[in-house]
Structure 1
Amino acid sequence: MAGILKAPLHIKMMIGFAVGLLAGLAVNLGVGADAAWVEWLTSNVTGPIGQLFLKLLFMLVIPLLFSALAVGVAEMKDLPSLGRVGWKTLAYTVIVSTIAVIIGLVLVNVFQPGRGVDPAVAQSLLAQGREGAGEIIARAPPSVGGPSFFLDIVPSNVITAAAENAILPVMFFSLIFGIGLVLTRHESAGRLKEALEGLFHVSMTLIDLVIRAAPIAIACLMFNLAALFGWDLLTRLAAFVGVVLLALGLHMFVVYSASVKVLGGMSPIAFFRAVRAPMLVAFSTASSNATLPTALLAAESNLQLPRRVSRFVLTIGATANQNGTALFEGVTVLFLAQFFGIELNLMQQITVMLVCILGGIGTAGVPAGSLPVVALILGMVGVPVEGIGLILGVDRLLDMCRTTVNVTGDLAAAVVVGRGEPMGPEDAEPMEPLIDPPLRA
C-alpha cells in the first residue's frame, strides 16, 4: 500500500483506471447496470466525485487559457519589427497545426472509432451525467455556421463570454490583449505582463493540485462507464488509441520530414538523429515546458541554428506550436461525438478544427494540459462533457506521445525559420553537442 502511495502520478492514474474499469465490468457482467444498488452508487457516490473533478477543471480553464495565450503573444516583444522570424514562425505554426488537425479529423471520420455503441446505452449514460454538465451543454449553440458565427467570435462583453464558457470569444480577446501588450510602450504594461505570468503560474499550480486527485476521479468515472458499457468500452478505447497514435505518427514522420527537407534544407534522418535527446525528455516528462532547456541545447549545438532564432521559436513554440495537442483535441472531440451518436456537420467540424488550432496555442505545455480545452470544446459543440472520463485513463500514454510530437514540431519550426538567417556574434561561442552533430543536406 505504501508503495502505491509513493508511486508516480501516472502510475496512480493507471491503477485508478484499472480498478474502476475492472469493478465496472464485474458489475456489468455480474448484476447488470439496472440493479438498484448500482444505480444508487453511480448516482450518489461515483458520479458526483467524477463531476466534482470536472467542475474543478472548468473553474480554472478560463484564467489559464487567457493568461497563457496573452503572455504567449506578448513574448513576441515588438510586432512592427518582428520581421522575418516572427512572421515565418506564425505562418509555419498556423499551416502545420492546420495540417495536423486535418489529419486527425480525416482519420477519425474514416475509421469511425466511436461508432458501434448501443444507442440506448449511450443515451442512458448521457442522461446520467446531463445534470453535472448541464450548464455548458445548455449554452452550447444548436448549430454553427453563417456570418453570425464569425461575428460571435468577437465578444461584446468578454466577462459574459467567459461566464458562458464561450471559448472562441475568450481566445480572440486574449489574442488581441496580447497584441496590445506588445504595442504598449509603458512600464505599467510590463508590470501587467508580469501579473499575467503570475496568473498563469498560479493557475498551473492549482491545476496540478486538481490533477493529483485524478486517480480517484478516473476510478469513479471508469466505474460508471464500464458498468454501463461493459466489454464494448474496451474495443472503443482501443480503436480511439489506435487512431490517435496513427495520426500522430503520420504527422511526425511524414509532415515534419517533408517540412524539414523542403523548407528547412536538412536531411530528415539527420534532423531526427539530432533531436533524439529532447524527444526522449518530452516522452518521459509529457511536458513541453520541462523539455525546453534540452530542446534549446539541441537546437543550438546539434542543429547549429542561430541562437536568437532558436530561442525565439522554441520559447514561443512551447506554448503556441503544439501540433500534437491540436490533433489530439480534434480526434477526441469527434470520437466522443461518435460515441454518443451526435452528428457534427461539416461546418461544426471546421469549427472544431479552428478551436483546436487556437487551443494548441493556448494549451499549457504540462502533463494533461489539453484536458481542460477538450472539455470546453465538448461543451461548445454539444457533446456530453462527462464523456472525457472515457479517455482519462489512457491519456498518460497519449500525452507522452503528443508531447513528443509537440517538441519535435518546435524543433522542426526552428529549422525552417532559421534557414537563411545569418549567424550572430553570440553563435561563435562553442557549445558541447548533446549527441553526434547532424549532417546538413
Structure 2
Amino acid sequence: MKKLALHWQILIGMALGVAWGMSSSSLGLNSFTTDWISPFGTIFINMLKLIAVPLVLVSLITGVSSLSDISRLSRIGTKTIGTYLATTVLAVVLGLILVNIFEPGKAFSPEKREDFKEQYASTASDKSSDAAALEQQGPLQPLVDIVPENLFLAMTSNGSMLQVIFFALLFGIALILIPPDKAQPVNDFFEGANMAILKIVDIIMMTAPYGVFALLAGLVVDFAGDDPASAWELLMVLGYYCIVVIIGLALMIFVVYPALVVTVGKTKYTHFLKGIFPAQMLAFSTSSSAATLPATMECAEKNLGINKEITSFVLPLGATVNMDGTSLYQSVAAVFIAQAYGIDLSLSAQLGIVMTATLASIGSAAVPGAGIVMLVIVLQQAGIPIEGIALILAPDRLLDMLRTTVNITGDATVAMMVARTEGQLHPPTEITVR
C-alpha cells in the first residue's frame, strides 16, 4: 500500500488538531490539552528552530564557495535583493489599495473598540515597549546589527539570522579567494555537514503531522477558552478585516507570483504550487519562515529542480529579509486601525507606510508574531494610535499563519526566477512529495 504523501498527512493533522481543540473546549479538557498535547507542538517547533541556524550557515557557505568567482556572487546577489525589494513594495501597495477600497475599520462600533482595548491592554503595552526600544536606535543601527561582534553569540538566537548570514557570506567569499588546494578540504567538510543536516531535516519532517496536530490543538484551546462560542463570535466581529487581508494574500499567491513564475521562471504555476505545497502547509502550521526554511529548500531542490547553488543563497536570505505577506498585512492593519479611530490618512502618510513597512519587513525576525512588533513602528510613523493594535491581536495568529505561507511562496518564486536567469533551473520529470 502506497504511503500517504507528507502534505496530506500534514493536512489531516491540521484538521484533527482543530477538531480536538474545539472538542476540548466543549468537554472541559483544556488543561489536558495544554499539559499533555500542546508540549509536543512546542517540541516540534524547537526541533525546526534547532536546525535553522546550522542549515543557513552551512548551506550559505557551501553555496557561495561553489560560485567560484566574486562577480557571479555579486550578480546573483543583486538580482535576489532587487527582486525581493520589488515584490515587497508591490505587496504593501496592494494592501493599501484593498484597505482603502473596502474600509473594514469603519465596521467597528465604539463599544467594541473599548472592549478590545481593555481586554488586550497589557499585550499592546508590551508590544509598544518593544517597538519603542527599536525606535530609539539610530538610522544606521540596522546596518550595525548585521555585523556580529561574536559569531557564537549570534548563533544562539534565530532572531540574529542576518548576522549568521553575514558571516557565512564572508566565509564563503574567503574560500573563493584562497588557493583552491587549501579551500578544497574546507569545502569538503561543509559539503558533508550539509548532507548530514539535510538528513536531520528528513528525520524531523517525519514528525510534522504529529507536531502540527499538537500545535493547532493548543492554539484553538488558547483562543476559545472554556466557551467555543466566544471564538466564533470574535472571528465574526473581525471577519471583515480578516477577509480583506486574506484577499490581498490570495492575490499575491494566485496573481502576482503566477505572473512572475510563468513570465520569468517560464514554468507552469500548477507545477510550482504542487512542488512547494508541503512547505506551504508547514509554514501555515508553524507561522515561521525560519522554521519552514529546511522544508522550503528541500521542496525547491527536489520538487522544482532549482540548483542547490541558488537555493542555498536565495532562500536563507529570503527567510530573513523577504516578508511579502507580512508587509501586506502591516499596510492593511495600519490603515484599518486608523479607520477604526476615525483618522483620515493623507497620500503622503500612506506613502510613508509603504516605506516603513518595506524597511520593517527586512528587519522582522522570521518567527511567529514578529510582525506585530514591527507593526507598532509603522503605526508610530504614520501617527496612528498605538493602542489600536489591541483591535487586531485576537485574529493575528490565524493571519500570521497565512502571511507566513505567502512569505515562503515569495521566497521560492524569487529563487525560481533567479535560477532561470542563471540557467540553474532543471525541473524534474516527476515531483516527489513525501
TM-score range, shorter chain: 0.5 to 0.7
Letter in 2 for 1:198: G
Where does residue 418 of structure 2 map in the other structure? Answer: 410
Task: Measure how far apart 1:88 and its partner are.
Answer: 3.8
* Percent pairwise identity: 19
Whole-Å Cα distance in 2 between the matches of residues 354 and 150 of structure 1?
Answer: 11
Task: Measure how far apart 1:338 and its partner are.
Answer: 8.9
Where does residue 50 of structure 1 map in the other structure? Answer: 41
Task: Measure how far apart 1:53 and its partner are.
Answer: 1.4
Where does residue 439 of structure 1 map in the other structure? Answer: none
Where does residue 19 of structure 1 map in the other structure? Answer: 16
Whole-Å Cα distance in 1 between the matches of residues 32 and 244 of structure 2?
Answer: 29
Q: Return closer, same or farther for 1:12/1:275 CA change in 2, 3 Å cut-off.
A: closer
Structure 2: 5+ residue stretches without partners = 225-230, 280-298, 339-352, 376-394, 430-434
> What is the SS of the residue equivalent to 2:191?
helix
Task: Measure how far apart 1:187 and its partner are.
Answer: 2.3
Whole-Å Cα distance in 2 between the matches of residues 254 and 145 of structure 1?
Answer: 38
- The answer (yes or no) to whether the contact 2:325–2:404 under 8 Å persists in 1 is no
Letter in 1 for 2:219: L
1:100 is matched with which residue: 87, 92, 104?
A: 87
Whole-Å Cα distance in 1 between the matches of residues 204 and 327 of structure 2?
Answer: 22
1:160 aligns with 2:153: yes
Letter in 2 for 1:320: F
Where does residue 378 of structure 1 map in the other structure? Answer: 370
Task: Measure how far apart 1:164 and its partner are.
Answer: 3.6
Letter in 2 for 1:15: I
Whole-Å Cα distance in 1 between the matches of residues 327 and 218 of structure 2?
Answer: 20
Mapping 1:181-330, distance limit 5 Å: 181-227=175-221, 228-229=223-224, 230-231=231-232, 242-254=247-259, 260=264, 272=266, 279=272, 282=275, 287-291=299-303, 293=305, 316-322=309-315, 329-330=323-324
Where does residue 354 of structure 1 map in the other structure? Answer: 362
Task: Measure how far apart 1:146 and its partner are.
Answer: 2.2
Q: Return closer, same or farther for 1:194/1:207 CA change in 2, 3 Å cut-off.
A: same
Q: Return closer, same or farther for 1:334/1:239 CA change in 2, 3 Å cut-off.
A: same
TM-score normalised according to structure 2 size: 0.61
Task: Measure how far apart 1:122 and its partner are.
Answer: 8.6
Whole-Å Cα distance in 2 between the matches of residues 216 and 337 of structure 1?
Answer: 34
Task: Measure how far apart 1:180 and its partner are.
Answer: 1.0
Whole-Å Cα distance in 2 between the matches of residues 121 and 17 of structure 1?
Answer: 32
Letter in 1 for 2:140: P
- The answer (yes or no) to whether the contact 2:21–2:219 under 8 Å persists in 1 is yes
Task: Measure how far apart 1:202 and its partner are.
Answer: 1.9
Mapping 1:74-85, distance limit 5 Å: 74-79=65-70, 82=71
Task: Measure how far apart 1:203 and its partner are.
Answer: 2.0
Over the aligned positions, Cα root-mean-square deviation in angstroms equals 5.1
Letter in 2 for 1:199: A
Where does residue 428 of structure 1 map in the other structure? Answer: none
Letter in 2 for 1:187: D
1:151 aligns with 2:144: yes
Task: Write the deviation string for residues 260-288 of structure 1: whole angstroms up to 9, x where unpaired.
Answer: 5xxxxxxxxxx74x767964773577611
Whole-Å Cα distance in 2 between the matches of residues 328 and 68 of structure 1?
Answer: 18
Task: Measure how far apart 1:245 and its partner are.
Answer: 3.2
TM-score normalised according to structure 1 size: 0.60
Q: Return closer, same or farther for 1:379/1:101 CA change in 2, 3 Å cut-off.
A: closer
Greater helix content: 2
Count of equivalent residues: 349
- The answer (yes or no) to whether the contact 1:291–1:407 under 8 Å persists in 2 is no
Q: Return closer, same or farther for 1:172/1:56 CA change in 2, 3 Å cut-off.
A: same
Task: Measure how far apart 1:289 and its partner are.
Answer: 0.6
Task: Write the deviation string for residues 343-398 of structure 1: whole angstroms up to 9, x where unpaired.
Answer: 9x888744543358xxxxxxxxxxxxxxxx73288399589xxx998589879986
Task: Measure how far apart 1:328 and its partner are.
Answer: 7.3
Whole-Å Cα distance in 2 between the matches of residues 49 and 18 of structure 1?
Answer: 17
Q: Return closer, same or farther for 1:174/1:405 CA change in 2, 3 Å cut-off.
A: same
Whole-Å Cα distance in 1 between the matches of residues 122 and 11 of structure 2?
Answer: 23
Task: Write the deviation string for residues 294-328 of structure 1: whole angstroms up to 9, x where unpaired.
Answer: x6xxxxxxxxxxxxxxxxxx553333345987797
Whole-Å Cα distance in 2 between the matches of residues 207 and 410 of structure 1?
Answer: 25
- The answer (yes or no) to whether the contact 2:59–2:312 under 8 Å persists in 1 is yes
Q: Return closer, same or farther for 1:406/1:278 CA change in 2, 3 Å cut-off.
A: farther
Q: Return closer, same or farther for 1:22/1:124 CA change in 2, 3 Å cut-off.
A: farther
Structure 1: 5+ residue stretches without partners = 131-136, 261-270, 296-313, 357-372, 418-433, 435-441
